């Protein structure tokens, strides 16, 4: 496969491997963060570090990523420096895309908003990181109604939203949501099946084209005994028509001595699910101006954010590929649109923004959402307020330059690192005891911060005979064990007899 090359690409690849792990520092809590709301995070900081900090906890758990990175437009925006050279822009994007991919669920998708300047370079970069086979499409987002009277050559009315899946074969089908107006307009008749199948419309059973199936040309019997022949042929087999007739789903009409045969197409299938067969195409109906008005409503004319995405655009994307409760991530959060929309749609979310507007725009915006703010998509999704989120910044690095674990690392954080390092996935369990979990028959233990409390005089971080006895009494496991601790006082033969592989903190805590 051909790859894109640019100045310092190798350095960009190294950056990906060398980004240090940081702890997240909770600054404040807003609203109710119980249950699923505990995952709602607004993080202020460089997304390279923030994404890496999320890996041990969220790798493979994000259902949908939306990003709207600086477009490299060579023109200074009010809130961020967009004047990156082309190569610098690619080097900025590369390691972030690698980390985003790690965070994405196997059946998840990533949507990238971009304009003509970098769209095609970004496509090739994404092919490299996500795999060409996982490319879904480049949606056209029609961002303006019209205009461009002064344009010299063409007027740019659209931008792109590139869409990649993590694994196309696992990505669920996408259908436009049912349109109640269209249903009212077209489905006008009702019969005894209305309760389950809803109203129906009549569709002609005869086709105007011929295919090679001779068995589609036969006579349908009118109840009064007439034979009705199609001009060309019917769409259905005779068997299917006879069964539909028996079920009262065929309608025969007569006009000036000529018979026409129709079948009833119900709004809902026999299971009661609405017909959703309209696929996505161009994304229409949400304009840049809407985003600007929304921002003005929220922050006033003076403080409005420059070129935020309209809430409706994000709503369309989340509607297409997520369900309530799914986790959404935006690592270029800007004024907080993705987080606000996800919150209103009852999705969980993580938003990362390095600028001051994380505090001046995203934070107050999400607070207003909790209070029931009624702008943007609120009416459409019947938003009434509620929920909550945590506001975090980047804390200390988890490991110092010599690989030592920072004294500030808490048991639960190190446990999440160890679990991820061993199993390649975040632990869904609460890490509050030395037995972290059992995976493929192997039990994983962590002795850290005196997790075994007063059962060991030296705070329980060392694997001694007494600590082993405590482990076997409190957290027995018949199969093989992996024990992480600062030191082991057990000999090789005792470890082997107990089925223990001992790993030393910090040297054996190697990140993936």
Ligand X SMILES: C[S@@+](CC[C@H](N)C(=O)[O-])C[C@H]1O[C@@H](n2cnc3c(N)ncnc32)[C@H](O)[C@@H]1O
Residues forming the site for ligand X (CB under 6 A): 46-47, 68-70, 79-80, 305, 308-309, 332, 334-335, 337, 352-355
CA atoms 125, 126, 131, 137: torsion sign: negative
**Is 377:312 a contact under the CB 8 Å cutoff?**
yes
Q: What is the DSSP letter of 208?
A: S
Query: To the nearest whole angstrom, how small is the minimum distance from the Cβ of residue 146 to ligand X?
Result: 23
Which pair of tokens denotes residue 156? Answer: 């740019």
Total residues found in the chain within this entry: 512
Q: Which region, left, alpha or beta, applies to residue 96 given φ > 0 means left and ψ of -120 to 50 means alpha? A: alpha
**Shortest gap between Cβ of 92 and ligand X (angstroms)?**
7
Whose Cβ is closer to ligand X: residue 287's or residue 448's? 287
Q: Which is nearer to ligand X, 46 or 319 (CB)?
A: 46
- The gap between the terminal CA atoms of the chain, to the nearest Å, is 26
Nearer CB in complex with ligand X: 354/483: 354
Taking the least distance from each CB to ligand X, the nearer of 159 and 422 is 159
Closer CB to ligand X, residue 64 or residue 220?
Answer: 64
Q: Least CB distance from residue 334 to ligand X, whole Å? A: 2
Give 138's Cβ-side CA count (13 Å radius). 16
C-beta of 415: minimal distance to ligand X in Å?
28
Q: How far is the CB of 324 from ligand X (least distance, A)?
A: 22
What would the two tokens of residue 427 be?
């632990």
Phi-psi region of 440 (alpha: psi -120 to 50; beta: other; left: phi over 0): left
Task: State the nearest-atom distance from the C-beta of 315 to ligand X, in Å.
Answer: 12
- Report which of 346, 292, 296 is spatially closest to residue 319, judged by C-alpha positions: 346
- In terms of CB distance, is 341 or 468 closer to ligand X? 341
- Smallest distance, ligand X to C-beta of residue 352, A: 5
**Minimum distance between the CB of residue 376 and ligand X, rounded to whole angstroms?**
11
The closest alpha carbon to 485, from 511, 496, 456, 493, belongs to 456
**Cβ closest to ligand X, residue 254 vs residue 356:** 356
Residue 302 beta carbon to ligand X: minimum distance, rounded to whole angstroms? 17
Contacting residues for 369 by C-beta, under 8 A, at least 6 apart: 340, 343, 344, 383, 385, 387
What is the Cα–Cα distance from 391 to 450, expressed in whole angstroms? 29
Please, which residue, 30 or 52, has the CB nearer to ligand X?
52
Which is nearer to ligand X, 70 or 434 (by Cβ)? Answer: 70
**Please, which residue, 70 or 375, has the CB nearer to ligand X?**
70
Burial 319-353 (b: 16+ CB within 10 A, else e): bbbbeeebbbbbbbbbbbbbbbbbbbbebbbbbbb
Cβ-based nearer residue to ligand X, 27 or 46: 46
Q: Are 6 and 90 in contact (CB under 8 A)?
A: yes
CB of 50 to ligand X, least distance (A): 7
* Greatest extent of the chain over all pairs of C-alpha atoms, in Å: 101
In 133-273, DSSP assigns E strands to: 135-142, 158-165, 200-204, 206-207, 220-221, 227-228, 233-234, 250-255, 258-266
* Inter-residue contact 241 to 225 (CB < 8 Å): no
Least distance from ligand X to the Cβ atom of residue 483, Å = 38
What whole-number distance in Å separates Cα of residue 393 and Cα of residue 408? 15
Q: Please say which residue, 80 or 411, places its beta carbon nearer to ligand X.
A: 80
* C-alpha separations of 200 from 56, 242, 358 in Å: 51, 19, 50
The per-residue b/e assignment along 131-152, b for 16 or more CB within 10 angstroms, e otherwise, is beebbbebbebebeeeeeeeee
Using CA of residue 384, residue 387, residue 392, residue 398, what is the dihedral sign? negative
Alpha-carbon dihedral sign for residues 438, 441, 442, 443: positive
CB of 210 to ligand X, least distance (A): 52
Residue with smallest beta-carbon separation from ligand X: 334
């Amino acid at each position: 496969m051909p790859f894109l090359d640019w100045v310092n690409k190798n350095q960009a690849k190294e950056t990906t491997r060398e980004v240090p792990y940081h702890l997240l520092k909770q600054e404040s809590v807003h609203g109710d963060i119980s249950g699923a709301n505990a995952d709602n995070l607004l993080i202020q900081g460089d997304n390279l570090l923030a994404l890496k900090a999320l890996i041990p906890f969220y790798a493979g758990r994000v259902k949908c990523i939306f990003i709207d990175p600086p477009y490299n437009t060579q023109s200074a925006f009010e809130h961020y420096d967009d004047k990156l050279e082309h190569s610098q822009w690619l080097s900025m994007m590369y390691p972030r895309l690698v980390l985003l991919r790690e965070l994405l669920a196997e059946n998840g998708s990533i949507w990238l908003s971009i304009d003509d300047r970098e769209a095609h370079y970004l496509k090739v970069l994404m092919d490299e990181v996500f795999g060409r086979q996982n490319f879904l499409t480049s949606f056209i987002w029609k961002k303006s109604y019209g205009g461009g009277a002064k344009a010299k050559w063409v007027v740019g009315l659209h931008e792109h939203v590139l869409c990649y899946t993590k694994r196309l074969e696992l990505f669920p089908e996408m259908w436009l949501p049912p349109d109640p107006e269209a249903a009212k307009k077209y489905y006008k008749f009702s019969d005894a099946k209305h309760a389950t199948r809803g109203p129906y419309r009549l569709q002609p059973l005869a086709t105007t084209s011929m295919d090679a199936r001779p068995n589609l040309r036969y006579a349908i019997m009118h109840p009064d005994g007439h034979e009705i022949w199609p001009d060309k042929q019917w769409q259905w087999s005779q068997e299917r028509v006879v069964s539909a007739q028996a079920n009262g789903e065929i309608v025969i009409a007569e006009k000036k001595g000529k018979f026409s045969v129709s079948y009833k197409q119900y709004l809902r299938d026999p299971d009661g699910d609405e017909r959703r067969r309209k696929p996505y195409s161009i994304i229409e109906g949400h304009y840049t101006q809407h985003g600007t008005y929304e921002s003005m409503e929220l922050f006033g004319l003076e403080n409005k954010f420059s070129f935020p995405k309209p809430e409706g655009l994000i709503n369309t994307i989340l509607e297409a590929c997520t369900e309530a409760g799914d986790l959404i991530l935006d690592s270029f959060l800007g004024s907080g649109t993705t987080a606000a929309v996800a919150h209103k749609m009852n999705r969980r979310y993580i938003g990362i923004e390095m600028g001051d507007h994380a505090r001046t725009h995203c934070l107050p915006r999400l607070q207003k959402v909790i209070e029931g703010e009624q702008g943007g998509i609120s009416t459409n999704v019947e938003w009434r307020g509620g929920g909550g989120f945590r506001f975090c910044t980047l804390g200390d690095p988890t490991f110092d330059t010599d690989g030592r674990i920072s004294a500030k690392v808490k048991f639960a954080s190190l446990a999440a690192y160890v679990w991820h390092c061993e199993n390649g996935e975040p632990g869904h369990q609460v890490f509050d005891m030395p037995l972290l979990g059992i995976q493929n028959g192997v039990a994983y233990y962590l002795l850290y911060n005196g997790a075994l409390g007063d059962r060991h005089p030296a705070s329980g971080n060392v694997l001694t005979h007494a600590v082993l006895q405590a482990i076997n009494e409190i957290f027995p496991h018949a199969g093989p064990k992996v024990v992480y601790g600062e030191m082991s006082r057990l000999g090789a033969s005792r470890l082997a007899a107990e089925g223990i592989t001992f790993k030393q903190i910090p040297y054996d805590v190697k990140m993936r």
